[in-house]
Structure 1
């Protein structure tokens, strides 16, 4: 009989994966191996999230220096309390507990942001995580009834662990709710709100009508919504697992194209770098691009596509200019 993996075994394996991630970006084969490892046991996703959170806390502690002792820091040595003191404190602890709950519910939201070209993993207090893409701003607030995240702008990938409280994402005029799942929400200027579900089930409804009918998204489904208008009139569509992988390549610092025009590719790179890609002739702008590219290397991308399309890639004044021979 095959022995079931213990929680300690899972935690140890999760720590090994986080150590690999810390040393360098995972290769595509390693990323696939990690995904397969997570899917093989429902306990592993939570273990990986805990290991990543511990790693982040460890980095913060390391910054305090090798002599830092968290147990001794600012602590005054005292005699243990007597039994009588413990009994006396009991009623006070109960009252203080109620006050803490009230304080938590009234606490201001936490704010998290990334700059252009920066990605950041934010661990939440329940073990869930939010991965922020480039130039993204969110606020997070938990209370006794719900876990709330507001996407002010940008793109976020949310991994929500199961919890009695729903996790609610507010994005523009939309309210996105799940009890457990993994999904991407993209909110960019002059573009539809883009919701892509990788795992679990997600409900989407109008923000001003939280009791209204919701559009339900299952795994490998996508919903694109206008900035204004009725949610119910929009229909989600099933997408392939390959498309989901391409859309989420930014989590590894990559941009994946599968037939997009060069003009759209240039616009995508502009989200990640101040170095602009300028296409000097219309014919070249309409050429289509396929491949996986580093998000922070527009110059390398420009040179690669120039070679493919028989064009020139010139760098000047903080820009990459693409033109075919003889183009003005």
Structure 2
């Protein structure tokens, strides 16, 4: 009886194929062997796409570091904050200057801080907490002697909260209050989707939606996510535990990366659209349903598309700010 390959066996073979492709074009015989290998197990295409992603983008490969595990995408814990618009420096004087630059010591109405498409920004707060803003996000910060309050107006933010026994840290989003003494958590508010909370460290108390009883509190602990109900999304609110490696993938954007584990190419294309003016258009419905696995630079949809085209035997066309992926008999007008 044939022995089923392990994920590690497949990843090892995929890495070897990616290395061969990097050395130069495969011979017709090698192409035939590769195609036969890919057809042998549905997991192999995803593994090769992952290996190609690492080898095609040297910056991503270096950023993975020595702790990279291709099965879990477990990245080094230390964040790498090098994207445009991030604050840098050290010491209290630099932090104070940054706060003044953002207007965080101004009016009671609070300072509004935002990011543009493709920008990730680290915002230090006066108590030692920080907010990391993802692409196209806006927050309002209100700090005084009696409160620490941040309102997420739109987009996505990761909060690292320093303990302050006198003042709980409160994030307000769509009229709901998320309260903690000390935690690390992500809040996402995007159009046509319920507000999503993911707690990676500590505990966050969430005020219940009015339709589920005013005054009630939901407790969300580490490695748990919660979709917040509202009038548009009135489903019952149930905190859902998730695996630590899934938390790591969900938060890969903090390092300028997008991590996929079985999402369709169509879903991946939508994720890239948040970070770049370059759009990925998939004209073959069957191709759009193909699962994708890998870690990619969020700002490089073209590099992602090249990896997809190579692994899934698709064609790539560049039409202005659109990258078109297709399969079929007709030749492209301007293949690249």
Q: If the length of structure 2 is used for normalisation, what is the TM-score?
A: 0.67
CA distance in 2, matches of 1:122, 1:216: 26
Unaligned runs of 5+ in 1: 1-23, 36-48, 62-103
The higher-RCO structure (CA 8 Å, 6+ apart) is: 2
CA distance in 2, matches of 1:131, 1:55: 17
- How many residues matched? 251
Deviation per CA, 1:195-232: give whole Å up to 9, x if none: 00000100112477996111111100001124437989
Instruction: Kindly report which structure 2 residues correspond to 1:93-104, keeping only aligned pairs within 5 A, or say none.
Output: none
1:161 shift after superposition: 0.7
Instruction: Kindly report which structure 2 residues correspond to 1:19-38, keeping only aligned pairs within 5 A, or say none.
Output: 27-29=63-65, 32=76, 34=78
Matched, 1:259 2:275: no
Q: CA RMSD in A?
A: 3.2
Whether contact under 8 Å (1:178, 1:202) holds in the other structure is yes
CA distance in 2, matches of 1:191, 1:213: 23
Decide which structure has the larger Cα Rg and report it: 1
Whether contact under 8 Å (2:99, 2:124) holds in the other structure is no
Deviation per CA, 1:42-86: give whole Å up to 9, x if none: xxxxxxx9947765668999xxxxxxxxxxxxxxxxxxxxxxxxx
Matched, 1:271 2:271: no
Matched with 2:194 is: 192
Secondary structure, aligned partner of 2:76: helix
CA distance in 2, matches of 1:326, 1:53: 63
Unaligned runs of 5+ in 2: 1-58, 67-74, 80-87, 332-336
Partner of residue 245 from structure 2, selected from 220, 242, 245: 242
Whether contact under 8 Å (1:119, 1:134) holds in the other structure is yes
Instruction: Kindly report which structure 2 residues correspond to 1:75-224, keeping only aligned pairs within 5 A, or say none.
Output: 107-163=108-164, 164-206=166-208, 212-224=215-227
Q: If the length of structure 1 is used for normalisation, what is the TM-score?
A: 0.69
CA distance in 2, matches of 1:194, 1:233: 14
1:286 shift after superposition: 0.5
1:316 shift after superposition: 1.0
Question: 1:142 and 1:59, CA in 2 relative to 1: closer, same or farther beyond 3 A?
Answer: closer
